[in-house]
Structure 1
Amino acid sequence: VVSMAFFQQNEEEAIIWRGPMIHNAINQFLQTTEWGDLDYLVVDLPPGTSDSPLTVMQTLPMDGFVVVSTPQALANMDAKRCINMIRKLNLNVLGVVENYTGEIFGEGGGKQLAEDVDAPFLGNLALRASYRDNSKPTALLDPIVGEEYTHVVKAVKKSLQELGKEAG
């Protein structure tokens, strides 16, 4: 795991950087980190079409993107713009995951987004009161959550296989 948070002296401070500084930091992370032999590299990017996603899209050789959204229409508008950017750069959208599914935020927005943009729907990750403030790896602690993640991982692998990009 590599994160900007690891380099902050005060975890409550905001990192206020503009395009060139973001671009340089991302490039430094990608080029100087000893990744070892990887089957997959997952990069968690901020939502939207800002400098961070664009830098990664233009820097790393990518097999595809998993777009994670929430059930709300506003979040899906932003996710749709991101999908359009991915496709404009001739990159693959592996599918859409709906995060925070459930009673609080609703459900179905991610599935509708996937249909609207003609992308696979990869699954839901529910928000549960039992772990929302726990800060522990819930996929390992709760078998139901583990099943949700396993379903999404299998769906991503299927999308990669369909592209002929599945790792060994």
Structure 2
Amino acid sequence: MDGSARMWISEIPSLDPDAREVILDLDRTSADPAERMACVLLNRGHEGEAGVFYLLPEDLSARYERTGNRLSVSLLARLDVLAEDLAARPAALRVHLGLLPRDPLHDGRAVLVRRETVTDFVPAERDGFQQPVVLIDHNAEHGDGPVALTELVTLFERQEAGIVVVAAPKAPPA
């Protein structure tokens, strides 16, 4: 299993033990306002099989980038969609909306989360999309330090974490 503290390339046995996925950990209680904003957008998911939710690229999308032996994944959100979903949230979170870094390829989008790891893994491509990114969201109740992937999968199996699949278009969605 390759991975930084919060990004892995691995299998999720309860979903498809034969498929390698790019997995990001999202903590709903993170000190990072942008990570909490990403978690707000997860409410836009549409339920699929086995309790997995899927997001439309217009709501939240992912982008892969490779630099040498490093693979990075960014989670991107349209600013208008994010502003709409944050309207009912505390002002302390909304104030950070204007501080988010803009997506260099699409001015109407912001970069919410960016993670990277050293790997030779190349996401598969099909019909203008790269392999989707799997997000496992949870509340951090584990104390100090990052959560291990095995713990995240266990939380999902106990229905204490959610899995959301995010599309990774080759070109930025409109």
What TM bracket, shorter-length normalisation?
A: under 0.3
Return the TM-score normalized by structure 2. 0.22
Higher relative contact order (CA 8 A, sep 6+): 2
- Structure having the higher strand fraction is 2
- Structure having the higher helix fraction is 1
